[in-house]
C-alpha cells in the first residue's frame, strides 16, 4: 500500500514538473525577436541584404524605419538625413541645406536609388560608428521603398512557409507635416495594399510621437497592433494614457533597469505597470557590441528578457536572441 502511494506521489510530482516545464516553454515562445534595422550587426542597416539575413535568422519581426522621398515614396531609412549612411555628399554635393545636412525629402525615389549605402558613420569626420561591423565603403548596397521590402518579406514567407512579420516605424511625423507631407496616411495605405489592416495581420506599427500614434488609432481608425515608443523617463508617467490607444510600449532598455544591488540588477516598475494595463513591452536596443552596464550579451538577455520579463527585444543581432530564447524553451 505504502509502495503504491509512493509511486502515485512520484508520478504526480513528475507530471507537475513536466507541466511546469510546458508552461515555461509556452511563456518563452511568446517573446518576440525584432530585427532592428534588419540584421544590422552584420550588414549595413536597412539594406535589403540586412533584411534577408534577418529573415534567414528567423527573427519574428523585421523593422522598417520610414521617411518620405520628394515624390512621396516611403523609404526605409533610419533618419530624415542621408549623409550618415550614404555617399550623397559626394554624388550630390550641391544639394545640402544650410545646416550642411542632406535630407531624404529633397530627393526623388529615382535619385535616392542611385546612392550607395554604407555602414553608419559620423558625417563630420567619416568615422564608422560600430568599428567591428561591416567595413564602411565596401559592398554594393542601395536604398529601397517600403513596398519593395514588403514584397521581399512576403515573397520569402511564400517560398519558405514561414510567417515573419513587419514592424514599421513612422519617423518624425511633425517634420513631415511641416513639409506638407502625409507620411502616416501614405504608409497606412501601403500597409493596407499588402494586407496589413488588423492585429492579426503580422504587422506592428510603432511611433515615438504620442499624438501621432493616438491619431492613428482614434482619427484614422487603424486596427493595427500599435506600439508607443518611449524616449524620456517622464514618458513612464503617461502609461495609462498610452493604454487607451496602444497595445504595447517600446522603451529604451535603461528605463527598465534600476540600481544594481549586490551585483544583481533591480528593476523600475515600468514593466509591471505596463503589464497591469495590458501593454506588451518591447525594449530597444540589444547590441552585442555595445553592452554598457552588462558584462556579456548573455547577461543582458537574461536580465531583460527573463528577469524583467519583457515580451520582445529590438536587436541588431537577431541570431543571438533567437538562439538564447530557443535554449530557454
Ligand atoms: O524603434 C525602436 C528602435 O528602433 C529604437 O529607435 O532610434 O533605432 O529607430 P531607433
Ligand atoms: Ca526604429
Is there an atom of ligand 1 within 6 Å of 250 CB?
A: yes
Residues 22 and 59 in one domain: no
Residues 36 and 2 in one domain: no
The pLDDT of residue 259 is 93
pLDDT digits (tens, 9 = 90+) for 62-78: 999 999 999 999 999 99
pLDDT (mean) for 148-161: 98
Separation between Cα atoms, residue 315 and residue 34, nearest integer Å: 6
The pLDDT of residue 311 is 98
Find out whether the peptide bond into 125 is cis, omega within 30 degrees of 0. Answer: no
Nearest ligand to residue 80 Cα: 1
- Ligand 2 center–CA 207 separation, angstroms: 8
Structure letter (DSSP) for residue 61: E
Give the number of the atom of ligand 1 that is nearest the alpha carbon of residue 282: 2
The pLDDT of residue 10 is 41
Q: Where are the beta strands (DSSP E) in 48-136?
A: 61-68, 74-76
pLDDT digits (tens, 9 = 90+) for 259-304: 999 989 999 999 999 999 999 999 999 999 999 999 999 999 999 9
| Tally of structural domains, the chain | 2
- Ligand 1 center–CA 251 separation, angstroms: 9
Separation between Cα atoms, residue 329 and residue 321, nearest integer Å: 12
Residues 59 and 9 in one domain: no
Q: Where are the beta strands (DSSP E) in the chain?
A: 32-35, 61-68, 74-76, 165-170, 204-207, 225-230, 248-251, 257-261, 264-267, 280-281, 312-315
- Domain enclosing residue 25, as ranges: 1-30
Residues 76 and 147 in one domain: yes
> Is 78 a catalytic site residue?
yes
Is there an atom of ligand 1 within 6 Å of 314 CB?
A: yes
The pLDDT of residue 23 is 37
CA atoms within 13 A on the CB side of 13: 5
User: Per-residue confidence at 7, pLDDT binned at 50, 70, 90?
Assistant: very low
> Is 176 a catalytic site residue?
no
Is there an atom of ligand 1 within 6 Å of 206 CB?
A: yes
Give the number of the atom of ligand 1 that is nearest the alpha carbon of residue 65: 9
The pLDDT of residue 250 is 98
Residues 36 and 26 in one domain: no
> What is the grid cell recorded at 317?
543581432
| Average pLDDT in the chain | 92
Residues 24 and 88 in one domain: no
Residues 92 and 143 in one domain: yes
Q: Tell me the pTM.
A: 0.91
Is there an atom of ligand 1 within 6 Å of 173 CB?
A: no
Residues 62 and 125 in one domain: yes
Residues 11 and 122 in one domain: no
Residues 214 and 111 in one domain: yes
Is there an atom of ligand 1 within 6 Å of 38 CB?
A: no
Nearest ligand to residue 227 Cα: 1
CA atoms within 13 A on the CB side of 135: 3
| CATH code, domain with 107 | 3.20.20.190
Burial of 140 (0-12, 13-18, 19+ CB in 10 A): exposed
With the most atoms of ligand 1 within 8 angstroms of its CB, the residue from 38, 66, 78 to mutate is 78
Residues 14 and 136 in one domain: no
> What is the grid cell recorded at 276?
497591469
pLDDT higher than threshold 50 for residue 90: yes
Residues 215 and 66 in one domain: yes
Amino acid at each position: 500500500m505504502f509502495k503504491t502511494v509512493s509511486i502515485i506521489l512520484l508520478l504526480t510530482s513528475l507530471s507537475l514538473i513536466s507541466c511546469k516545464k510546458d508552461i515555461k516553454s509556452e511563456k518563452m515562445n511568446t517573446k518576440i525577436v525584432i530585427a532592428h534595422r534588419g540584421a544590422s550587426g552584420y550588414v549595413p542597416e536597412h539594406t535589403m541584404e540586412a533584411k534577408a539575413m534577418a529573415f534567414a535568422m528567423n527573427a519574428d519581426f523585421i523593422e522598417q524605419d520610414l521617411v518620405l522621398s520628394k515624390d512621396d515614396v516611403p523609404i526605409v531609412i533610419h533618419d530624415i538625413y542621408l549623409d550618415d549612411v550614404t555617399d550623397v555628399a559626394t554624388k550630390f554635393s550641391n544639394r545640402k541645406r544650410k545646416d550642411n545636412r542632406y535630407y531624404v525629402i529633397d530627393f526623388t525615389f529615382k535619385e535616392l536609388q542611385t546612392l550607395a549605402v554604407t555602414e553608419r558613420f559620423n558625417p563630420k569626420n567619416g568615422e564608422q560608428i560600430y568599428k567591428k561591423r561591416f567595413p564602411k565603403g565596401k559592398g554594393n548596397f542601395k536604398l529601397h521603398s517600403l513596398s519593395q521590402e514588403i514584397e521581399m518579406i512576403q515573397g520569402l514567407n511564400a517560398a519558405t512557409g514561414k510567417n515573419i512579420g513587419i514592424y514599421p516605424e513612422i519617423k518624425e511625423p511633425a517634420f513631415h507635416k511641416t513639409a506638407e507631407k502625409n507620411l502616416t496616411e501614405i504608409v497606412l495605405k501601403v500597409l493596407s495594399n499588402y494586407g496589413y489592416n488588423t492585429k492579426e495581420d503580422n504587422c506592428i506599427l510603432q511611433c515615438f510621437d504620442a499624438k501621432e500614434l493616438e491619431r492613428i488609432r482614434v482619427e484614422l481608425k487603424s486596427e493595427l497592433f500599435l506600439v508607443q515608443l518611449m524616449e524620456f523617463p517622464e514618458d513612464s508617467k503617461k502609461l495609462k494614457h498610452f493604454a487607451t490607444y496602444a497595445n504595447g510600449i517600446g522603451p529604451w532598455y535603461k528605463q527598465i533597469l534600476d540600481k544594481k544591488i549586490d551585483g544583481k540588477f533591480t528593476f523600475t516598475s515600468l514593466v509591471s505597470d505596463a503589464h497591469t494595463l495590458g501593454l506588451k513591452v518591447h525594449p530597444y536596443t540589444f547590441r552585442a557590441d555595445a553592452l554598457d552596464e552588462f558584462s556579456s550579451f548573455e547577461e543582458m538577455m537574461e536580465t531583460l528578457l527573463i528577469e524583467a520579463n519583457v515580451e520582445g527585444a529590438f536587436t541588431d543581432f537577431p541570431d543571438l536572441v533567437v538562439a538564447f530564447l530557443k535554449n530557454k524553451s
